[in-house]
Chain A
Amino acid sequence: MSDMSAKPNLSAGVQTAGGVGTAPVSHTEHGDAHHDEHEHHDQHWLWKYVFSQDHKVIGKQFLITGIFWAIIGGTLSSLFRLQLGWPEGTMEWLTPVLGKWVEGGKLNPEFYLALVTMHGTIMVFFVLTAGLSGTFSNFLIPLQVGARDMASGFMNMLSYWFFFLSSLIMFFSLFLETGPAASGWTIYPPLSALPQAIPGSGMGMTMWLVSMVFFIVSQLLGGVNYVTTVINLRTRGMSMSKLPLTIWAFFLTAILGILSFPVLFSAALLLVFDRSFGTSFFLSDIYIAGQALPNQGGSPVLFQHLFWFLGHPEVYIVIMPAMGMVSEILATNARKPIFGYRAMIGSLIGISLLSFVVWAHHMFVTGMNPFLGSVFMFLTLIIAVPSGVKVFNWLATLWRGNIRFTTAMLFSIGFVSLFISGGLTGIILGNATLDIQMHNTYFVVAHFHLVMGSSAFFGLFAGVYHWFPKMFGRMMDEKLGYIHFWLTFAGVYLVFLPMHYIGIAGFPRRYYAWTGFDSFSQFADMNKFISVAAIIAFAAQFIFIFNFFYSIFRGRRATQNPWNSTTLEWTTPLVPGHGNWPGEIPAVYRWPYDYSKPGSETDFIPQNVPYSQTQSSNLPYEQELAD
C-alpha cells in the first residue's frame, strides 16, 4: 500500500493528450492551490484506508473483498465437483477440514446441498454483483465522467461497510453446527422456511436472510450514488452522448438494481415472517415431520415471482458492467472506435427494459398459468435481438482493427466468445416447450455458467488487468496474465461444453449422485472429466491472485496512460489522490472513441482535446464546432 500514499507524481511519464497539441488544462499550472481543497494530507490511516470516503479506495475494498469471496466460492465448487466426479470415492482425507460433514468417508448429502447453495449465493451476489459492479462502478464512474468523487462519499462508504457486515454474517454462517443455508441459492420455500425439512433452513437460513438484507441495503446505497453521480456530476462538455460505454453500462445497471433489489427485500421479509412469526405468505397445506402445520392459503409460487423479479434483472446486473468494460477495452486495443456507439447504448437500454418483463421464464413448469408461459416465452426470446446487436457490434469493432493483445484484450475477446456460446443456448431454454425437458437439468447449469458466470468473470478480469495501473500505479505481469487467460479460457470450455451433453441427457441439477437412476448412468466418465477440468481451471486462478498481489507492491511502474486510451481517467496523475485531478477537472469536447482517426498524428485523441486543436482530423460537423 506504500504506493497509494505516494503523492501524485505529475512529471512521471505524463503524456498529455498524446502529443496532439497541449491539453486545455495543464495540471501543473493550477497545482497545489486546488490540491489542498480536495485532498486531506494528514488523514489518519484509519480514515484513509479503512473508513475511506474516496471512491477509489472503496472500489479497491470491494475488489479485494470480492477476490476473497471468489476463492471461497471456487473452493466450494471444487468440493462438490469431487463428489460428482467420484461419487464412490472416499472423502476421508477431507475430514480435518470438513469435520462431521464427512461421515464414514462420504460427504453428507445435506452438506452437499449447502455447498451448491453457498457457491451460488457467493458467486452471484458477493463476487459478481458486489465484486464486479461494486468495484468498477465505484472506481470508474467519477474518473470517467470527470468528477472529484461520488455524489455522496459518506453513503458510498456505508455501502461498502454494509456489504462487509453482510459478508461477515454470511461467512460465519458457513461454520454453523446445523450448516449454512442449503435450499439452493434461489431459497424456494417451503424448503427454506422449515427447519424440519432440512437443517440448513434453521439458523443457516436466518443468517442468509439477515446477510442478504444488509447486502440489499449496500446495493441500494451504492446504486443511488452511481445514478446521481452520472446524472449530476459530469464534467463540462460530458453530455450523455459522450459518455464511455462503461458508464452507460454502470448507470443502467444501477437503475436495474434500484428497481429490483427492493423486491428481493420484500420477498426476504415475507419469508422471515413465515419462518418466525407464523404468517402464511408462502406456506399452505403442509404435513411434515409427523405434524400438520396450521399455515393455509399461502403460495410457494408467489415467492418465486418475487424472487425472480429481482433474480432475472440480477443476471443483467452481473453481465452489463462486463459488457460496458469489454466494449471499452475492445475499442482501445483494436485501436478502433467501438462500432455503432448509439446502437450499443440502445441495445443496453433495450436489454435493461426487457430484463424486467422476462422473470417468469424461470417458472414455466411450476404450475403457472400456461398463458403467462406464452407471454414470457415471447418476451424472453426477444432479448436475443439486442444481445445479438451487441455481439455483431463487437465483431465489427475488431474488423480491420490493429489489435494489441494485452491481457485485458484477451479476456475481452474471451468474454465475447463465452457470451455467444452461453447466450445461444438461452434460445432453447427461453422456449417454454423445450424448457419442459430442460428445466433444472445440467443444460441450464451449463447455460448460465457460460453466459453470466464465466462471461462476467472474464469481464471482471479484463477490467482488473486494464485498470490496474490506474488503481495502483503499477502494471500486472503480462506473461503471467497470458498463462492465466489461456488456462482459464480452455478450462471454462472444457468444463461447460460437456455439461450441455449431460443436460440434454436430462441429468437433474443439485443431485448428490445419479447412481440411483438407470436413466442417468451413462456419463460417469464425463463427470470425472468435468471435475478435473474444473479443478485445474480453479487452480489457474491462483496465478491471477499471485500476479495481483505481487504487482500491487512489486509490479513495474506504470506510465500515465499505458494503453493510449482516450477516456478521462488517464488524464489524472499516475496515482490520483482524493479529488482525482490536482487542478481543474478537464472539460470534454468529443466522444470517447476517436481511435485511429484519419488525419490525426497519433492513433488516439483523448476526450479532453478540443476540436480546435485537431484541425487536420476533424470531420465536417466537428469542424463547425471547432470554429
Chain B
Amino acid sequence: MSALTIVAVLVLLLVVFGLLFRLQILSSIFSGSFTRDIGMSNSVNAVLMLVFLVGGGGWFAYSFVENYSKMNPPIASVHGHHMETMFWTTMAVIGVAFAITQTLLFVYAYKYQYKEGRRAYFFSHNNKIEVIWTIIPAIVMAALIFAGWKAWTRITGPAPKDSVVVELMGKQFNWLVRYPGRDLKLGVINYRLIDASNDFGIDLNDQASQDDFTVTEIHVPKGHPVLFKIRSRDVLHAVYMPNFRVQMYAVPGMPTRFWFTPTTSTDEMRAKLGNPNFKYELACNQICGKSHYAMKATIVVDEPDDYQNWFASQKSFASQNPDLVASFKKKAIQDIAKPTAPAEPKEVAPVPLANASF
C-alpha cells in the first residue's frame, strides 16, 4: 500500500513539474523569439557557486574528519610506516593546491558574474605568469618524484639474504602456501604435476622438495624480513595485505616477489586495537572470477621464538603423502627407461624484482 502511495505521489509530482515546465515554455514563447536577457537566474547561479564552495567544502571537511579514523588500516610493517608518512604528506600538498584552486574557481565565478555596464578585462596572456605557474608545480613534482623514487628503490630492492621465504600460489579461489623446510630451499614445482593430491605441482623427485611443507595459514616472525615468492597457477591474482602495505600480482608463468619486515605481532595488534579477534588479512586484488571477492588468506605474525616452534612442528608435505611419493618413484624409474623425459621441470628465472642490480 505504502509503495502504491509513493508511486502515486511521484507520478503526481511529475505531472505538476510537467505542467509548470509547459507553462514556463508557453510564457517564454509568448515573449517572442529567443533573446538571452541576463536576469535573476544569472545572479542566482552566481550565489549558488558560493554556496557550493562553502557548503560543499564544509561537508567535505566534516565527513573527512568524521571518517578519518576508519580510513587508515593499522600498519604493521617497516616500509608501511614510511609509506603512510609519504601518503599523508602528499595528501597535504595536493590538499593545499585543491583548496586554493577550488576557492579561486568558485569565488571568481561569483565575483565576476555579469554586471550591467561592466566590461571584461581584455587580458590575453602573460608569459611571465605562465613561466611561474609552470616552474612552481615542476619543483613540487620533482620533490615528490625524488621522495617516491628513493622509497620505491628501497622497497623493491633485493631482499636481505636471511629473509624468511614463503611461497604463495594463487588459484581460483584460494591461496596456497608453501615453506621451504629445514634446508631453506623450495623444491622444484611444475604445473603439469598438479592434481587433486598435489595442489602445488611439487616435484617430489627433487631433493629440495622433501622437507617442504604446506599450510593454510601464513606464519611470519616479527621483526624479521620476509620474502614472499608469488605465483599463480591459473589466472592473474594479486597478493594484497593492506596492513603491511604490500601488493604484488600473481602471474601464471612468471614468479614475482615482495619482501617486507613485519613490526607488530598479531597479539600486539589485538591488544593495541582492543579487538581479540583481529587477524591480518590477505585479499586477492586482481579480478579473477566468480569468488574473487572471497579469495582470502590470513597471516599470523609470531614472536620469533613462537615462529621457530611453529616452524619446527610442521610436517613435510612428502611425509604426509606417502602414496604420492611412491608414485613419483615409479615414474622416475619409467622415465629412466624411456629416453623421452617429460617437460623439463624448470625453475623459471626470477623476475628482477628483488635481484635488480641497478
Contacts and interface: CB of A to CB of B under 8 A. Distances in A.
A384 B83 contact: no
Contacts of B277: 518
B353 to A, nearest CB: 6
Contact of A395 (B108, B279, B348): B108
A263 interface: no
B247 A437 contact: yes
A299 B29 contact: no
Contacts of A284: 252-254
A337 interface: yes
A433 B151 contact: yes
Interface stretch (A30-38, A168-176, A477-485): A477-485
Contacts of A369: 351-353, 356
Contacts of A437: 83, 87, 242, 245, 247
A391 interface: yes
A16 B205 CA distance: 90
B251 to A, nearest CB: 5
Contact of B41 (A191, A405, A433): A405
A365 interface: yes
A403 B113 contact: yes
A562 B234 contact: no
A292 to B, nearest CB: 5
Interface string A458-486: 00000000000000000101111010001
A377 B281 CA distance: 28
A113 B138 contact: no
B163 interface: no
Interface string B192-226: 10100000010000000000000000000000000
Interface string A413-444: 10011001100110110011110110111000
A511 interface: yes
A398 interface: yes
Given A341-B125, A367-B251, A385-B137, A518 B278 contact: yes
Contact of A367 (B97, B249, B358): B249
A94 interface: no
Interface residues of A, number: 126
Given A373-B152, A417-B102, A511-B293, A388 B235 contact: no
Interface string B115-146: 10011111111100110011001100100110
Contact of A403 (B104, B109, B148): B109
A433 B83 contact: yes
Interface stretch (B65-73, B305-313, B315-323): B65-73
Nearest to A406: B36
A519 B73 contact: yes
B191 A292 contact: yes
Question: Which of A336, A385, A510: most chain B Cβ within 10 A?
Answer: A385
Contact of B243 (A109, A300, A439, A519): A519
Interface in A196-218: 197-198
B122 A596 contact: yes
Interface stretch (B43-51, B177-185, B328-336): B43-51
Given A403-B46, A514-B293, A516-B296, A440 B285 contact: yes
Interface string B261-290: 000000000000000011101011111111
A441 B241 CA distance: 12
